[in-house]
Structure 1
Amino acid sequence: MNRARSRELGIITGTLPTGRWNAITDVAGVLVGYSTLNRDTPSIAHTGVTAIWPRSAIYRDSVFAGVHSFNGYGEMTGTLWIDEQGLVSAPICITNTYSVGTVRDAVCEHAITHSKSAERSLEQPLVVHLPVVAETWDGFISDIDSMPVTKAMAFEALSSAASGPIAEGNVGGGTGMVCHEFKGGTGTASRVTPRGYTVGALVQTNYGARELLCVGGVPVGRELGVDVVPSPERAAADSGSIIVVLATDAPLLPIQCQRLAKRATVGLAKAGGIGANSSGDIYLAFSTANHLTLDQPAWTVETLAPFCMSQLFRAAAEAVEEAILNSLFAAETMTGFQGRTAHAIPLDQMLSVMRKHRWTPSI
């Protein structure tokens, strides 16, 4: 069976409708770009960079944001400043663990190059770039010690960012990742609330034990065990990480963005994630509704009433769950470092298991 997205298989998680592309790019102004590296020499590398622009003018027009660490065995730079100030003022990137510094330096260089003004008033604030770069570890499939990610790759991801449908599976930062002991990677989905606000999710999945995987409430991982589909060697089956980026056009303040980010945990739990001890489960949410230019001494902003937040929480949980499934369903089998193979989840066998559990497709 060809690789497919969750809804193409008739697997509908939750009840809220999706946006046009069922992607984080359904939030107007959000752009996503990738750089993907697959090579056999001089070292085996299956890795990359994912870049998310909250809006194209992000260096001049910031967005409110909040972060949450469900389990902190991982890295997301810039989070102290987000906790302090509540702003994201540069593109957000995701890569592998050892390349965070390289990609962060590239974002800083990109920001310096593209945000310079010819003249600066002494009253304008000093701009110091503290970009957000997150990671998961792809060392089972890629020779991570060879440090294959370059600044040029980060620049490629930043410059290729676009709206519309985006690639999933073995692309960008998710290229060499493993999820629930199947091939994982990059996934996305979106939801639209009854009030018309959109919540989009992009995930980089590299976590989870096989037996914990659930698809639409069906314990698929238990029946597609390692005797059915071999697992790549790993030190611990429940090790690994997931990075979640949530975007919304709902008008949220930083504390509301933080609350929204926390709800990514609900979607992760539905798919079978538990926040294991050696897993980095780190989430960021931002809102594009308010325009926040740093050269203005005061801002007039709009914010959503607290009683309206529950719809967004539900949207975030549904979008994250489906984005995780899309990352699995789109990913293709990959053999890499030291001959290890991460097998794609077999969609036909998975659907057979689901039908056995009295699941029927929603198509």
Structure 2
Amino acid sequence: MDLTRARELGIPFAGTPGTWNSITDVAGVEVGHCTLDPLDGSVRTGVTAILPRGLGSTAPTFAGSYALNGNGEMTGTAWIEEAGFLDSPILLTNTHSVGVVRDAVIAWQVKRDKGPSLNRQGDSFWSLPVVAETYDGFLNDINGFHVRPENVFAALDGACSGPVPEGNVGGGTGMVCFQFKGGIGTSSRRVGDYTVGVLVQANMGARRQMTIAGVPLGLALTEDMPALGPHGDVGSIIVVIATDAPLLPHQLKRIARRGPMGLARTGSTANNSSGDLFIAFSVAPAGSGCEEVLDVQMLANDAMSPLFEATVQAVEEAIVNALVAAETMTGLRGNTVSALAHGSLQALFARD
């Protein structure tokens, strides 16, 4: 696994990251992966789990979601839009494993007694987990249905704080980004007393579009491009945004709507076949007690612009971190996707 990150290559990103430059810089957020990538074969997939309050809590968070282009799936968002609460982990996987992952999350909640604290009915509960997908069928035998419940349990049980593995891991194992190897990436920004953290599953874009820190690099890096479609831009992205700022659901929807601006900075244009889906949540207290009248805090709208800027910056850097961390992969039918060469990237920035 390549542990190099984009900043270490001298890419000049704006803003100040947190300790790990990761979504886990938001206190309480934990991330786990289960990667299915045998040495030989056509299985190149997995599961990534984001636990908004970690393994130790089932308390809900306020949340909001946004679909830039809806050729994709993120389950559970109808209830988030209605009620404003996220009361489950967020799971990322491949397109044809959404169902098994969704069912496995509920089974895990039952087995571990992790059912949503809001949705209790006597000794039972109901749950509408958030599971999002991107398509990995170029490298992965997606119709082999290789993701199993035990893989979901492993991702959830293995969730932790600290640095987050990136690139060819978890749900990002078989993903392709700008016709380079893509996958999982993460980044964060400090904004006064608050932190914004982002995790992406990057699987979008054509090489000709790729832009890094304002430099149109894709046009100069035209070797080893897999033929993914008539325009080379088949794919999608899932963006998860976390913050500890006290935001209400409508404000978190505003945060989610800024995510596409970070995506656009990398050159993506949300093409017709792309599922570009965003979800934002706050780990600040969500007023989820049993009282009829609850007290909550909210940041003034006039104070939100720095959070918008931080979101855009962190989304951009998370995507580039996914590209930098990913390694060349061969999978289904011998299909190969090359990694973005660090030396080429450094040389182009040095020249510019």
TM-score, length-scaled by structure 2 = 0.94
1:337 aligns with 2:336: no
CA change 1:338–1:123 in 2 (3 A) is closer
Structure 1 residue 312: deviation in Å?
0.4
The corresponding residue for 2:167 is 169
CA change 1:71–1:125 in 2 (3 A) is farther
C-alpha distance in 1, partners of 2:133/2:235?
Answer: 10
Residue 172 of structure 1 aligns to which amino acid in structure 2? G
Identity %: 50
The corresponding residue for 1:36 is 35
The corresponding residue for 1:234 is 228
C-alpha distance in 1, partners of 2:229/2:12?
Answer: 33
1:306 aligns with 2:305: no
C-alpha distance in 2, partners of 1:138/1:292?
Answer: 39
Q: Secondary structure at the match of 2:108?
A: helix
Q: Which runs of 4+ in 1 moved over 6 A?
A: 122-126
The corresponding residue for 1:202 is 199
* Structure 2 contact 58–114 (Cα < 8 Å) conserved: no
* Structure 1 contact 174–205 (Cα < 8 Å) conserved: yes
Structure 1 residue 3: deviation in Å?
6.0
* Structure 1 contact 233–340 (Cα < 8 Å) conserved: no
* Structure 2 contact 108–114 (Cα < 8 Å) conserved: no
The corresponding residue for 1:25 is 24
Q: Secondary structure at the match of 1:267?
A: helix
CA change 1:216–1:302 in 2 (3 A) is same
The corresponding residue for 1:12 is 12
CA change 1:58–1:91 in 2 (3 A) is farther
CA change 1:58–1:309 in 2 (3 A) is farther
* Structure 1 contact 224–350 (Cα < 8 Å) conserved: no
C-alpha distance in 1, partners of 2:43/2:227?
Answer: 17
C-alpha distance in 1, partners of 2:17/2:316?
Answer: 13
* Structure 2 contact 212–266 (Cα < 8 Å) conserved: yes
* Structure 1 contact 125–294 (Cα < 8 Å) conserved: no
Structure 1 residue ranges without an equivalent (≥5): 358-363
Structure 1 residue 95: deviation in Å?
0.3
The corresponding residue for 1:360 is none
The corresponding residue for 1:361 is none
C-alpha distance in 2, partners of 1:289/1:177?
Answer: 32
Structure 1 residue 295: deviation in Å?
4.0
Q: Secondary structure at the match of 1:35?
A: strand
Structure 1 residue 106: deviation in Å?
0.7
Aligned residue pair count? 348
Structure 1 residue 126: deviation in Å?
7.2
The corresponding residue for 1:180 is 178
C-alpha distance in 1, partners of 2:305/2:78?
Answer: 26
TM-score, length-scaled by structure 1 = 0.91
What is the Cα-based RMSD across aligned positions, in Å?
Answer: 2.1
The corresponding residue for 1:328 is 323
Residue 298 of structure 1 aligns to which amino acid in structure 2? V
Q: Secondary structure at the match of 2:37?
A: strand
Structure 2 residue ranges without an equivalent (≥5): none
